[in-house]
Structure 1
Amino acid sequence: MNAAGRTIVLAGATSDAGLVAASRLLTAGARVVATGRSAGRLEPLREAGAQVEVADATSLESMAALAARLDSVDAVIPLVGGWRGGGGLSGQTDADFDALMPALQAVRATSRAFDSALQASDAGRFAIVSSTAVARPLAGGANYAAVKAASEAWTRAVAHGFAKAARDAQQPLRAASVVFRVKALDPEALAAAAVALWDTDAAELNDTVIEL
């Protein structure tokens, strides 16, 4: 299996990483659906060949509406991110924490909205971008590490849901939920990892952490 012919949703894809990932996936023969809240910021993705959708990746309602419009989906990768930190533990402000929360909200909204579609695919994939800060949280990045840790926990719960559904149906596991963990985000490395999501069988890939 490979990415060719797959429909892949990049949710919150208006960053440089989103554009690079979309371009690599398109080159690999995938259909890419890129979302963002600004039509103007989605224009480079449209020019690259992606189908663009103005939609809020942090909103379950918005993502569910998108899922209903798409005929099938084989992979979802939420790319909402950002970093706030510094100032030691006392510098971990509520405002910074609130600014980081959309990343977790996007993981929750996209996984819930597309859960049925990914399980219906013959090779569904859900992947998030996390951070090595989860393994070694620092006082000055406590807010960030906490949000990433919560995102990883949610993604592992998605993996459990995939495995349980397959087991209950007495079917082979076809969907996998994985974490891409990075120290500093390299768009090219992320893009390569997204293309490679179908290089490994779901049973081996599900509930894993891939260091980039």
Structure 2
Amino acid sequence: MSGSVEAAAGSGPPEGTGSPLEGAVVAVAGAAGPAGRATLLRLAQAGATVVAADADVARLAEAVDAARYAHGGAVVTGETVDLLDLDATRAWADRTEKEYGRVDGVVHLVGGWRGSKSFAATPLADWDTLHDLLIRTAQHTSLAFHDALRRSRNGRYVLISAAGASRPTAGNAAYAAAKAAAEAWTLALADALRKEGGEGGLPAAAVILVVKALVHDAMRAERPNAKFAGFTDVKDLAAAIAGLWDEPAEELNGKRLWLTPQP
């Protein structure tokens, strides 16, 4: 099932931002968390029309309102979508392209974490949970928006991954394996886009941004003495996401871009 929380302001994006995102239409999946809020704000600031989705209606409305009122000339909408339902996700993609005439980006921020004290103590139920949150939702958004991103001719599919996918630790077996699988799926999408490119160049790019972990202002306020070494601030993540439209698709497609020191 899917429903909508409308929060659009004005009839178009702010004028004169000078950003490649000005006038672009970007869908953000998993938009209600701190990373989502920062991303909605940054994309709206750059002049994009932002179409946000999340399963948490109240938090999604708050995130959409914050972006809407911070950038009064922007169009920011929110919709509750069951991303575990491929038909519902396809319907979201179709509605978005029909309403705005195009889709120029999908930012996949759906996350989740489960860990254990040791490898042997890993509950396999954690794998089931993370499979749905981290893999299945990425499969559905990439399949649902693939054709629209190709039609954009400047589309971006962005997956946020974790350093642990490259160097799993004993207590993070399920999490690291799920992140690695989501990365592999995204790299397969990148290969498809590469093969679909013709003389006109790649129609879109699929790219992975790698973080150790994310930090935001509320976390710092709760733990004022913590160093959060190697963590990426959600505002820096949002800036990195927006910056992906500054680079040619050929230079981004299939890349793992590190926002934390690479191990």
Which of 38, 48, 60 in structure 2 is aligned with 1:42? Answer: 60
For 2:220, the equivalent position in structure 1 comes to: none
Partners of 2:258 and 2:235 in 1: CA distance: 14
Partners of 1:4 and 1:39 in 2: CA distance: 27
1:46-65 superposed matches below 5 A:
46-47=64-65, 48-49=67-68, 50-65=76-91
String of CA shifts for 1:171-191, please: whole Å, max 9, x gaps: 311300000100012311210
Which of 161, 169, 181 in structure 2 is aligned with 1:138? Answer: 169
For 2:239, the equivalent position in structure 1 comes to: 192
Which of 126, 143, 146 in structure 2 is aligned with 1:112? Answer: 143
Between 145-154 and 97-106, the greater mean CA deviation after superposition: 97-106
**Greater RCO, CA 8 A, separation 6+:** 1
Q: Which runs of 5+ in 1 are unaligned?
A: none
Q: Which runs of 5+ in 2 are unaligned?
A: 1-18, 69-75, 215-232
The CA deviation at 1:86 is: 2.4
Query: Given residue 202 of structure 1, which amino acid in structure 2 is its aligned partner?
Result: A
Which of 14, 25, 38 in structure 2 is aligned with 1:7? Answer: 25
Query: Given residue 174 of structure 1, which amino acid in structure 2 is its aligned partner?
Result: P
Greater share of helix? 1
For 2:183, the equivalent position in structure 1 comes to: 152
The CA deviation at 1:58 is: 2.8
1:67-106 superposed matches below 5 A:
67-71=93-97, 72-101=102-131, 102-106=133-137
String of CA shifts for 1:88-127, please: whole Å, max 9, x gaps: 1112111211221211111100000000000000200001
Partners of 1:91 and 1:188 in 2: CA distance: 35
The CA deviation at 1:134 is: 1.4
String of CA shifts for 1:152-205, please: whole Å, max 9, x gaps: 0000000001011114xx431130000010001231121011110111100111
Q: How many pairs were matched up?
A: 210
The CA deviation at 1:4 is: 1.4
Alignment check: 8 A CA contact 1:174 1:203 kept: no
Partners of 1:38 and 1:89 in 2: CA distance: 32
Decide which structure has the larger Cα Rg and report it. 2
Partners of 2:176 and 2:103 in 1: CA distance: 30
Alignment check: 8 A CA contact 1:162 1:176 kept: yes
Partners of 1:58 and 1:74 in 2: CA distance: 22
Query: Given residue 64 of structure 1, which amino acid in structure 2 is its aligned partner?
Result: R
Identity of aligned residues (%): 41
For 1:179, the equivalent position in structure 2 comes to: 208
| TM value normalised by structure 1 | 0.95
Instruction: Tell me, yes or no, if structure 1 residue 122 matches structure 2 residue 153.
Output: yes
